[in-house]
């Protein structure tokens, strides 16, 4: 059944969200191939840095399966790259493929690389339509866009409060929110590159910091930054965390942690800490997004954004379903 470019772009975004958090430091990107009647021929996404980009993967799939000559329109969530990185420029693959039209969700926000993907396609006579479902595509790559523009990681502070207004679980428990809230929290964790916590949280709860309640990426490793000025956390905690695909680093303060994680290539940080450290980060303005879960029937979730942050998307159009890895 024929679909509109908007519907095809929604499909491309949904495919990309399956890998949101798996592709860092690259953005999550999805692509859809349409024939001349608007029928979907194939759907692909970038799955990991160093692997083929979504467009190149789609073209390779079409070539191997024998339907490359049937592709009329390529819909892709992000402007095809026009530079040599770990993989060749996607625009060259598109030009060689014979595709007639390229529909793009949003331009590449990276100011540090050679752009011109759209212009190069137009120069060889390929029709280009840009800005289709642009806000959804922008929100899909929010952490990547913020990081490449500012040189700083996107930082989310996540907190949960029970009905007594405290973040402390009842004795013998580690959580008090609903299953739905837990899934949301773990989907936020799933897309992050690093977690910041405090030594008090580690010593009190010995948290795993793994992704549960939703499937995680098998080969994904995350950094765990523990603020531990007094050296209270035993090295055995870091050794055990490493077996869970978590690489632990100890820091004296949060500014040092953020700076070093940025050097390590981290684009998306999640703060999961106790009340004092979480509030200190909020008070210092060292955050872009705050997610607060209030226990109830049902739980209430609030997402707020730092008013001093220049966001890479329209805050008025924020939608959770555009923001998190798809659930499967």
**Which of 284, 245, 30, 34 lies closest to 157, judged by CA?**
284
Q: How far apart are CA 127 and CA 283, in angstroms?
A: 49
Q: Specify whether 202 is located in the same domain as 111.
A: no
8 Å CB contact between 226 and 250: yes
**Residue 328 forms part of a structural domain:** no
Q: Specify whether 172 is located in the same domain as 270.
A: yes
Catalytic residues, by residue number, are 55
Residue numbers of the chain with a pLDDT score lower than 50: none
Q: How far apart are CA 168 and CA 300, in angstroms?
A: 17
Q: How far apart are CA 314 and CA 303, in angstroms?
A: 14
pLDDT tens-digit profile of 261-275? 999 999 999 999 999
Q: What b/e readout covers 7-42, taking b as 16+ CB neighbours within 10 angstroms?
A: bbbbbbbbbbbbbbbbbbebbbbbbbbbeeeeebbb
Q: For the whole model, what pTM was predicted?
A: 0.94
Q: Specify whether 170 is located in the same domain as 134.
A: no
| CATH value at residue 38 | 3.40.140.10
Q: Specify whether 156 is located in the same domain as 109.
A: no
Q: Specify whether 108 is located in the same domain as 170.
A: no
- Among 115, 140, 165, give the residue marking a domain's end: 140
**Which of 97, 100, 23 lies closest to 58, judged by CA?**
97
Q: How far apart are CA 91 and CA 59, in angstroms?
A: 11
Q: Specify whether 235 is located in the same domain as 116.
A: no
Q: Is 247 left (phi over 0), alpha (psi -120 to 50) or beta?
A: beta
- Among 114, 140, 166, give the residue marking a domain's end: 140
**Residue 327 forms part of a structural domain:** no
In the chain, how many domains are there? 2
Q: What is the pLDDT of residue 176?
A: 84
Q: Specify whether 302 is located in the same domain as 154.
A: yes
In 18-141, alpha helices (H): 54-65, 90-97, 117-123, 134-140
Q: Specify whether 115 is located in the same domain as 158.
A: no
Task: State the burial class of residue 220 (Cβ atoms within 10 Å of its Cβ: 0-12, 13-18, 19+).
Answer: middle
Q: Specify whether 171 is located in the same domain as 307.
A: yes
Q: What is the pLDDT of residue 326?
A: 85
Q: What is the pLDDT of residue 29?
A: 98
State which residues form the domain around 106.
5-140
- Among 80, 115, 140, give the residue marking a domain's end: 140
As a residue count, the chain comes to 328
pLDDT tens-digit profile of 74-96? 999 999 988 666 667 889 999 99
**Residue 326 forms part of a structural domain:** no
């Amino acid at each position: 059944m024929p679909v509109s470019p908007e519907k095809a772009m929604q499909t491309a975004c949904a495919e990309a969200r399956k890998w949101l958090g798996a592709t860092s430091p690259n953005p999550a990107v999805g692509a859809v191939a349409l024939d001349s009647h608007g029928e979907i021929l194939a759907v692909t996404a970038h799955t990991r840095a160093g692997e083929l980009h979504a467009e190149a993967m789609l073209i390779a799939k079409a070539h191997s399966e024998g339907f490359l000559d049937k592709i009329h329109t390529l819909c892709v969530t992000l402007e095809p790259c026009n530079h040599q990185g770990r993989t060749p420029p996607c625009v060259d693959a598109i030009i060689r493929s014979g595709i007639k039209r390229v529909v793009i969700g949003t331009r590449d926000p990276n100011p540090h690389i050679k752009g011109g993907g759209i212009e190069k396609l137009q120069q060889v006579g390929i029709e280009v339509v840009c800005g289709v479902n642009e806000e959804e595509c922008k929100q899909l790559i929010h952490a990547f866009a913020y990081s490449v523009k500012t040189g700083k990681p996107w930082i989310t502070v996540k907190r949960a409060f029970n009905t007594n207004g405290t973040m402390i679980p009842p004795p013998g428990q580690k959580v008090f929110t609903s299953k739905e809230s837990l899934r949301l929290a773990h989907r936020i964790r799933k897309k992050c590159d690093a977690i910041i916590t405090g030594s008090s949280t580690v010593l009190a709860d010995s948290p795993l910091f793994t992704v549960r309640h939703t499937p995680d990426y098998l080969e994904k490793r995350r950094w765990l930054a523990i603020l531990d000025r007094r050296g209270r956390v035993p090295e055995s905690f870091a050794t055990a965390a490493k077996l869970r695909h978590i690489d632990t680093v100890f820091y004296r303060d949060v500014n040092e942690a953020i700076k070093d994680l940025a050097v390590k290539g981290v684009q998306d940080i999640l703060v999961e800490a106790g009340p004092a450290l979480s509030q200190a980060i909020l008070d210092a303005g060292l955050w872009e997004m705050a997610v607060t879960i209030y226990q109830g029937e049902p739980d209430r979730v609030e997402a707020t954004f730092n008013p001093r942050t220049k966001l890479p998307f329209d805050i008025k159009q924020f939608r959770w379903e555009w923001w998190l890895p798809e659930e499967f």
